[in-house]
Amino acid sequence: MGYNGVGIGGLSIGEPKEVTFQMVKATTDSLPEGVLRYLMGVGEPLDILKAVAMGVDLFDSTYPARGGRHGTYLTPTGKVNLSSKDFRGVEEPIYEGCSCPVCKRYSRDFLYHLKRGREMLLYRLGTLHNLHFMGRFMEAVRSAIQEGEFASLVEGRVGWGTVRELMERFSR
């Protein structure tokens, strides 16, 4: 064909997600085997699972950094928003078992304190944690694909439970 890959862009700018994924499916279905599929601007874990199931290979997004800047931390069980008063006095990390420097060093209580004080450190720590999470998440996706387990794992049930199971089974 004369090209190695296709960028799928112009989406994720306000249209409903169903429309985005209809366009992604139409595009990926029309491409020959072996052509790299790059989906621009999609970065939420559940959306990535859907897109990978449709044959997308590569992503870029500001999602992890943007979430971190707003005090939203990603975990295998969902999003944690540090605005909740439930984190006051909680000495546990954002996610028990997370190997990122933030979870190894800081408690939910400390991060909640940073959020209430609008401290800039919170946003850097959030970005660091979320980028670490996304790296581990994508590592698990790759491993599941290589082991032939991805399709059966996500078929008909893309949710945070799927993310947790994927990361528990395939993160190293």
Concatenate the DSSP letters of all residues of 49-110 into one string: HHHHHTT--EEE-SHHHHHHHTTEEEETTEEEETT-GGGTT--S-SSTT--SHHHHH--HHH
pLDDT at 39 over 70: yes
pLDDT at 13 over 80: no
Q: Is residue 46 domain-shared with residue 69, that is, in the same domain?
A: no
Where a domain ends, among 61, 87, 111? Answer: 61
Q: Which two tokens stand for residue 158?
A: 């893309």
Angle, in degrees to the nearest 10, between helices 120-146 and 108-116: 130
| Domain of 74, in residue numbers | 62-172
Q: Is residue 76 domain-shared with residue 158, that is, in the same domain?
A: yes
Q: Is residue 91 domain-shared with residue 108, that is, in the same domain?
A: yes
Q: Is residue 66 domain-shared with residue 131, that is, in the same domain?
A: yes
| Pairing, β 36-40 against β 58-60 | parallel
Q: Is residue 53 domain-shared with residue 72, that is, in the same domain?
A: no
pLDDT at 169 over 60: yes
Write the pLDDT tens digit of every residue in 45-99. 988 998 998 899 999 999 999 999 888 999 998 999 887 788 899 999 999 999 9
Q: Is residue 69 domain-shared with residue 122, that is, in the same domain?
A: yes
| Res 9: pLDDT | 84
Where a domain ends, among 61, 83, 103? Answer: 61
Q: Please list the alpha-helical segments (H only) found in 117-159.
A: 120-146, 150-154
Q: Is residue 67 domain-shared with residue 117, that is, in the same domain?
A: yes
Say what the pTM is.
0.88
Amino acid making up residue 144: A
Q: Which two tokens stand for residue 120?
A: 């800039």
Q: Measured between alpha carbons, how far is 166 from 135 in angstroms, rounded to an integer?
A: 13
Query: How would residue 171 be classed by pLDDT, with cut points 50, 70 and 90?
Result: low
Where a domain ends, among 36, 61, 86? Answer: 61
Mean confidence (pLDDT) of the chain: 88
Number of domains within the chain: 2
pLDDT at 44 over 70: yes
| Res 157: pLDDT | 62
